[in-house]
Structure 1
Amino acid sequence: MTDFSDPSFDLEAYMAPFAARLAEDFVKAELDSKKFLAHYGDFADFLYRPEFDHFLRKEVLFFWDPSGEYLAFLDNDHWPEKHSFNFPGPFYSGESDTCGTGVCQAPSNVMNDEHCCEYVFKQPTTYYEFLCVVNAAAVEVFDSFSSNGNDHWTVQECRTWWRNREHLLSSLANEELVKMNDGQAQLYIDYLNGEAEMDLRRYCYFLENGVYPTSPSLILPEL
């Protein structure tokens, strides 16, 4: 067993293999994102579709990893234990481990609470971000991520969630939570104070109509 308290312990050397693997994952996600764009087209149409969860688990993951060695990491429905800080959308987490790998794998979309449990603070907006979130889900020890949010979120659920925004903003200022992340707390604060409202209204439109709104003339549900 590694003794982290040993004065001679070299943390940088210990972490080097993990850093190298992470760098490889980012490069692969960048390359794969181009393949996904060529194969599936517009990202919003890809992500926001009826039966996205089934589509992802039964088709997309096999396109991502044709070997199919272990692709069951999104098979569990974690809605009953969903982390309340998850931003509404297809992806969310339940009770995760406390390894903090999600922040490393998907720094623009996944963060930790003050106990180092993971949640999705921003739904992916590109194939690259999508693949990073998939990587975060794949390495999470408890398989605590789910992709069936569309089966559970309703417009009313989204409105209720949004009305608790001030509590969430207050929680994001928690010193311990800030320490458990690498700038994600501020990213989430900025998002909630900026583009999040329109993103959530667009998601509510999708929930009501089954298609993602692209025309600026469409009337979006109010929160």
Structure 2
Amino acid sequence: MNQIWLGVAAALALPLGLLLIRERRADGRPAGPPPDRPERGPERRRTAGRPEVSDPAEVAYWNPLQLIGSPSREVGEGRWEDRSRLNVPGPFYGGATDSGGHGPACAPRHVLFGDRGTEFVYRQAAGPDELADLQEAFGEELFRGYAGDGDEHWTPDAVREWWAGRAGVRRWIEEDLAGRGGGDNERKSLLAFAAHLDDGLEDYLRGYLFWLAEGREPKAGEPLPSL
């Protein structure tokens, strides 16, 4: 007899448990998190298995690789020796990419055609939104010719050498604007590259020098190396 009553009680408890599980708030969200798992607000910008993403407004150099799990898988397998001389220093660069124009179309504020008909990064990602634009360009590249291992190759001396030779980069921009650069670029993007050389790139590269030397993001206002 006791076994019968236990079976009846279990049968009644199951619907009641389901009813409690399905109870929801007026806004459609679950009634509440378990006591041992507090809710996290939307300001907690975390991804599975990764530390909290830094705020670009709080650092003088923002490391985009904190949102990249595997550069070879998520960016590409481009070779350092194939990169364009025009590619600005930073973690991302274009190697032997295709010439279909997907990169400049997907990320016109970051990607251009170079003097060899392949794509290069003229503006590195300085925040999650800019990284998303570049990731779209990476994903559309047929030959997987981009790479995200620039930090392993750039040295402070190499960054300074690139900056010292920026007059040659500006000359290429002027030639491409005049139709002699060998590329097929939008005028707006070429002008954006020229403007970046004049205002913004120097500060970025100084922050990048700090990153290469110290292995951490410099805080906003922290002294930075000179170029």
TM-score between the two structures when normalised by the length of structure 1: 0.69
Answering whether residue 68 of structure 2 is matched by residue 56 of structure 1, we say yes
Any idea what SS the aligned residue of 1:220 has?
Answer: coil
Count matched residues: 174
Partner of 1:85: 86
Deviates most, 173-182 or 191-200? 173-182
Distance 1:205 1:193 in 2: 21
- Unmatched tracts of structure 1, length 5 or more: 1-34, 62-70
CA distance 1:178–1:38, change in 2 (3 Å): farther
Distance 1:194 1:99 in 2: 30
Aligned with residue 217 of structure 2, among 195, 212, 217:
212
Any idea what SS the aligned residue of 2:123 has?
Answer: coil
User: In the TM superposition, what are the counterparts of 1:85-104 in structure 2 within 5 Å?
Assistant: 85-104=86-105
Partner of 2:193: 188
Deviation at 1:113, TM superposition (A): 2.1
Partner of 1:142: 143
Distance 1:159 1:100 in 2: 30
Deviation at 1:114, TM superposition (A): 4.4
Answering whether residue 53 of structure 2 is matched by residue 41 of structure 1, we say yes
Any idea what SS the aligned residue of 2:120 has?
Answer: strand
What is the letter of the counterpart of residue 191 of structure 1? H
Partner of 2:162: 161
Deviation at 1:42, TM superposition (A): 2.2
What is the letter of the counterpart of residue 63 of structure 2? Y
Deviation at 1:41, TM superposition (A): 2.9
Any idea what SS the aligned residue of 1:38 has?
Answer: coil
Partner of 2:208: 203
| C-alpha RMSD over aligned residues | 2.7
Distance 2:149 2:183 in 1: 30
Deviation at 1:72, TM superposition (A): 2.9
Answering whether residue 106 of structure 2 is matched by residue 105 of structure 1, we say yes
Give aligned-pair identity as a percent. Answer: 24
More helix by share: 1
